[in-house]
Structure 1
Amino acid sequence: MQEEKNRADIHVGLGERSYTISVGSELMDEIGDIAKRLNFDSPIVIITDDHVETLYAQRVKLSLEQQGFNTAVCSFAAGETSKHLQTVARLYDQLVALKPERKSGIIALGGGVPGDIAGFVAATYLRGIRFVQVPTTLLAQVDSSVGGKVGVDHAGGKNLIGAFHQPAAVVIDTDTLKTLDERQLKAGLAEVIKHGVIADAILFKQISEKIDRLLAVEETFYRKIIPWNCKIKARVVEQDEKEEGLRAILNYGHTIGHAIESVTGYERYLHGEAVAIGMIIEAQLGERLGVTPPNVTAEILDLIRRIGYPLDKPDINAHVLINSMTRDKKVQQGTIRFIFPIQIGQVTIKSVQELALIRDVWDSYTP
């Protein structure tokens, strides 16, 4: 990781698909320069949602136009409920009219939803064109913008339709944290906690000791925390790009979290909120299986409580929840796989066949 004053660059080494994650202040004004260095051709299409469009689209468009690119903005309604194939189809229609070529580029501007949708469009339009991730939420900055997972939801479950399509670059402007509300900020912190639990006890300790600085959006601290998280994810992705083994550890809290989101129609919980509940319940399940020590579960629960998530048990029947989990892409040979903490900073992957035990842990959940 190379660092300059107020800036860090993390290399993601994937051979010909390698790229750089840049983290710093005022980087949004450098998108045009970056597109030029990447040898993009016009037109360049910015794909975003209608909320982020009002905040940043014109700024990114100006940066691109100053470098001589013809640029267009395509947007859709903000929120997870737009993350489906109908939105993708409408974007395809717009691209057909704009006539981008394979050497053109897409800018994925926004949080996890715009990043996933724009990345999926880039992966599939013309059988694949390059794109740049410009994440504007903490969750997207520390997690979803890195690693090349792109896709959309289906009525049967979250992210069931997708591809692996690595970005040409990831550009993280930490100034965007100033426009996040507290709920969105905490949703992103759930992924930071996850990284600490699965791979880095020192990171977990830092989060625990510096909650006030995180919740106060102390930007200098985030310029340390964001690259730290990106580096953790990058090192995992480098070893297992297409989730054939190790990369599954990044799903800690997501087996149950995704099911909660899906069953509640993506309207009640933000992704990070569902993952926070998922991390607690999966640790409790690991405890019942004799894999997760009780003190580890207690540490995770304490930190999640202190950040302040909506942790009341969702009003979901256990059978409905388990049925949703069995349709998840993490299922292997018909068996649900979970990530269980062994200690802070280390986890194990385990298939669980005892559905009655999962049901019992869900029914007895108390935050």
Structure 2
Amino acid sequence: MSADAARLDWLRLARTPGIGPVSFFQLLHRYKTATSALAALPELSGRSRRAQPMAAPSRDEAAAELKATERYGARIVLSSEPDYPPLLKALGPPPPVLTLLGKADLAARPTIALVGSRNASAAGRKIARDMASELGRNGFTVVSGLALGIDGEAHAASLQTGTIAVLGGAVDHVYPPQHQRLYAEIAASGLIVSESPFGYRAKAQDFPRRNRIITGVSLGVVVIEAAERSGSLISARVAGEQGREVMAVPGSPLDPRAAGTNGLLHQGATLVRHAQDVLDVLSSLHTQGFSAPDATPFEFDPSGDEPDASELARVRDALSPHPMPMDEIARAAGLTAARCAVVLLELEIAGEASTLPGGLAARAF
């Protein structure tokens, strides 16, 4: 088989509805190639409780996505390829496929995420601008999510030094529309990253996945203003689970926009006031001569045995509607992480579980 055909099959498997990152790499491990895994899908899904068997996109559909992406000026990168962001590749498992628009080398430099409130105060916006521009001058690529408020300020202040915008939708979907010009400037001089297929429009449930990529591609995350139920707090929690540095800017106890950040500090996040504080924290990571940390290998069960009814029931009972780290699910089910991943593959194919980047899983609805 040609390299192009194998690449198309990798994309087809990654785009198959109901196949998340954990299941993708379990299938790749079990069947050795994406092509063989695709051939096995009808039988696997036929054993499940699904009303309809899993259906992967055809090669023509995958080729059409590649062409549409290339016509737009972007490119699809597999997690096995050299242009894939190195820090994200270190996650176990990483998103199997990303779409990149712009300068991929920005993700190979030292990176820091700045996130926070959409409804940011004037003070919060100034802190974001000052911090982003100073970190950029010190050689860091600034990563954020292109949202209004703190995200937009961080991107705008680091355009000249390097910024990465991670989107919830496809690379061709600018959201919010107020950031059309900022998006164009980042596409021209920075990097746009998306896990979604070309043409996809973001939904509310896509933003936690976007947040995991923001933190996964970064050495650490700084939260600047966040309410108690802010999505930025999800980013902070996931960053901690990924082994990233979590930092927060303190705010007035009387300002609800600081309730989340003050809570992070109470829970042990590192207090930072300005860029120099962030640089002091990051200096301990030895970012001179930067390279990605050693990847935490994704564990595979050596037995290869199919899960029995008891294992399926224990993992099913351990799943929550909210994404949880797989090692926590394994612990609750009394299994090793490697064995839990095998069981999750069966449950995901059955439509009972969903797996997410960063080794997370949840009960499917």
- Given the two structures, how large is their TM-score scaled by the length of structure 2? 0.27
More strand by share: 1
The TM-score normalised by the length of structure 1 is: 0.27
Relative contact order (C-alpha < 8 Å, sep 6+): which is higher?
Answer: 2
Structure with higher helix content: 1
